[in-house]
Amino acid sequence: MKTINQVDGFSKERFLQVVKRFWVLNQKKWLIGFAGGVGILILIYLLNSTQPTGYGNSGYAVLGVGLTLYKFGGYFLTSGIFNELGKKSSASQMLTLPASTLEKFLAGWFLTYFLYTIVVMGLLYLIGLFLEVNPILTTPPFSESTVDASDFYFLDTLLTYTALHSVFFLGSIYFDGNHFLKTLLAIVLFFIGLGIISVIFTILIANDFNFSYQFVHSPENMLFSVVFGKIAVAALFLFLSYRQLQNRQIA
Higher pLDDT, 201 or 31: 31
**Neighbouring residues of 209: CB distance < 8 A, sequence distance ≥ 6:** none
Higher pLDDT, 125 or 118: 118
Of the CA atoms within 13 Å of residue 75, those in its CB half-sphere come to: 21
Q: CB–CB of 57/48 below 8 Å?
A: yes
Please state, in angstroms and rounded to a whole number, the distance separating the CA atoms of residues 239 and 151.
33
Q: CB–CB of 248/85 below 8 Å?
A: yes
Q: Give residue-wise pLDDT tens across range 206-219.
A: 554 554 444 445 55
Position 1 in a domain:
no
Q: Please report which confidence band the pLDDT of residue 139 belongs to, taking 50, 70 and 90 as the band edges.
A: very low
Domain containing 154: what range?
12-247
Higher pLDDT, 133 or 239: 239
Position 2 in a domain:
no
What is the pLDDT at residue 229? 86
Q: CB–CB of 83/89 below 8 Å?
A: no
Position 3 in a domain:
no
Position 210 in a domain:
yes
Number of structural domains (the chain) is: 1
Q: Give residue-wise pLDDT tens across range 43-56.
A: 888 887 776 655 55
Mean pLDDT for 143-151 is 42
Position 7 in a domain:
no
Position 123 in a domain:
yes
Q: What percent of the chain has pLDDT over 90?
A: 29
Mean pLDDT for 179-193 is 87
Position 5 in a domain:
no
Position 6 in a domain:
no
pTM of the prediction? 0.81
What is the pLDDT at residue 140? 38
Asked whether residue 22 carries a pLDDT value surpassing 80, the answer given is yes
Asked whether residue 150 carries a pLDDT value surpassing 50, the answer given is no
